[in-house]
Amino acid sequence: MSQTTSQASIDVLGPGSILRRLVGEARWGLAVTRATLLEAAHPQIGAALMENSTFLTHPWRRLRNTTMSSRRLLDPDPRVREREAARLNRLHARISGADAQGRPYDATDHEARAWVMATLFESTVTMCRLSGDTLDAETMRRLYDEHRAVLALIDGTSDHLPATLQEFWPYYDDIVEHHLENNEAVSVILYRLFATVPAPPLLRGHPAVWTAGRAVAGPLATAITIASLPESFSRRVALPDLPGARTLMQTAYLSAALATRYLPQSWTRVEFFMGLLDPSHEGTGPWEAVRRRAGKAAALVRLLTPAAAEEPQAVRSADRFFAEVLDQTGDGYLRWPDLAAVAREIATRLDLGEQEEERLFQAYAAWWRELQNALDGDGDGRVTRHEYAAAATRMPSTGLIKIADVLFDVTDVDDDERIDAEEYHDLFRTAFHRDLTGNGSGGGAGGDGGGYSRGAFVRQFVSFMSGQQHSNAYTALLTGG
């Protein structure tokens, strides 16, 4: 990325950024949901979502990570923005392939990335209009420039979005009319995700409550989303015109706007709702700081003393482990995208640099090759649940040991060959952070020289990842709890 492009991004996204303010508001979730559906209708993006994304199986984890990533890209500190852009580019560079029709997709495709920014801009404008906060011409132009600046930050250029707002609308209409499609990703978001979304951490102990609430909220969310879409898109992909949906949609947007305007600001921020959905989500304030400190030692104890397996039969336990942990994309098979998703989540939690991230992905790739050689009898590039469960007790472990060694090295930031409570917390937190001081986050919270040795760490990680032993900590990390 050129210095001129970078400087332009810094200027536009500096103090007073409109987009930064909107991203912090909980109501922006309406715009993001709408934009995501329009993105999914793009052939390349839809294929990448279905083949590689965990949004269906782990939506709350995806929501947390997306929220945090958006905040980083709009951070007042340009170092945070540029490092997050580099991190996203590394992860996206690993996502490519072909869809069921043989059409190639690539997460670094310039046109697809431009469409993502286009949908976010247009959906943000629509959110404001439906909320009764219609943007004037100058504000809308500034907002568009900010979206182009974010694209330049990520893609190195904003040339694939029209240079002016006047040119944008014909571009947007052309994509909607001639390039979008009613693909599997669109159907999954509208009719499967909303209807089957798992309970957030707060309600996982109350499945009946969640199921009852979802039975009502799911169809409402579908109706609101469909009613907010451009009419030309709805006609093109043959979406139903549900009775009363438009009134319901307008009520939802207006209610969100009124809440933002009249309720205490702390109640309408993203952090407030994240805290409601997940009580372990890291917040701020003195009480939250005390709670985190008090929980670190207990968290380390939980890792050192993993819970006993709930099901005594090895095959049965392995079958459940396959479904809950290994099958990250939810297609019923273990494939490379599933293990890549595990590596992405760990790299995200630990905020790894380029070299450490590459070591982690290479280690997971080595384990995947072992699994293929041992379990993929028909050579179709995937392992079934039955194949995995039947062979769980004789799984290859060389690759797993390599992964565990890499994971230990990147978690042990103070290089004392032990993982203390602070370092443990960085791995198993529910969100991720940025430390720009270079001091890391280690430091022996216990102060007594104790901790978790490499050997103990490797043994437990290998036992967990081979489905032989349950661990609350690792399950929470990889299932979004």
For the stretch 141-197, pLDDT in tens is 999 999 999 999 999 999 999 999 999 999 999 999 999 999 999 999 998 888 888
pLDDT over 90 at 252, yes or no:
yes
pLDDT band at 269 (very low <50, low <70, confident <90, very high): confident
β-bridge pairing 418-419 and 452-453 = antiparallel
**What pairing do the DSSP bridges indicate for beta strands 383-384 and 96-98?**
unpaired
pLDDT in the model for residue 204: 77
For residue 249, pLDDT beyond 80: yes
As a whole number of angstroms, the distance between CA 299 and CA 406 comes to 21
Cβ-in-10-Å burial (0-12, 13-18, 19+) of 476 comes to middle
Contact (Cβ atoms closer than 8 angstroms) between residue 118 and residue 175 = yes
Nearest CA among 464, 1, 36 for reference residue 225: 36
Residue 233 has a pLDDT of 93
pLDDT of residue 2: 42
**pLDDT band, residue 298 (cuts 50/70/90):** very low
**Per-residue model confidence (pLDDT) at position 444:** 34
Of 447, 379, 376, nearest in space to 418 by CA: 447
Least confident of 60-69, 274-283, 383-392: 274-283
Structure-block tokens of residue 457: 């760490």
pLDDT (0 to 100) of residue 277: 64
Residue 147 is predicted with a pLDDT of: 96
Torsion of CA 78, 79, 83, 84, to 10 degrees: -50
Tokens 């390599």, residue?
402
pLDDT average, residue stretch 48-70: 84
Which of the four pLDDT bands, split at 50, 70 and 90, describes residue 309? very low
Question: Which range among 48-62, 68-82, 128-142, 360-374 shows the weakest confidence by mean pLDDT?
Answer: 48-62
pLDDT above 60 for 371: yes
Lowest mean pLDDT among 77-91, 223-237, 416-430: 416-430
Residue 407 neighbours by CB under 8 Å, 6+ apart: 346, 360, 427, 457, 461
**What is the C-alpha separation between 235 and 255, in angstroms, rounded?**
27
pLDDT mean over 367-388: 86
Residue 25 is given by DSSP the state B
pLDDT at 3 over 50: no
Which residues face 251 on adjacent strands?
A: none
**Residue 133 — pLDDT band, cuts 50, 70, 90?**
confident
Q: What is the pLDDT of residues 392-449, one digit of tens each?
A: 667 767 888 999 899 899 888 888 888 888 888 777 765 444 433 333 333 333 333 4
Mean pLDDT of the chain: 81
Mean pLDDT, rounded, for 108-114: 96
* pLDDT at residue 146 in the model: 95
| Confidence (pTM) | 0.79
Q: Which of 124, 174, 131 is nearest to 146 (CA)?
A: 124
Q: Locate all alpha helices (DSSP H) within 194-334, ordered by sequence.
A: 194-196, 207-228, 231-236, 245-262, 270-277, 286-304, 314-321
State how far the Cα of 457 lies from the Cα of 350, in Å rounded to an integer.
16
Where do the domains of the chain lie, and which CATH numbers do they carry?
A: 3-265 (no CATH), 282-479 (1.10.238.10)
Per-residue pLDDT averaged across 355-376, rounded?
90
Report the pLDDT value the prediction gives residue 162, as an integer from 0 to 100.
97
Q: What pLDDT is attached to residue 447?
A: 34
Q: Which residue has the tokens 């090295």?
A: 409
Please determine, for residue 275, whether its predicted confidence score (pLDDT) is greater than 80: no
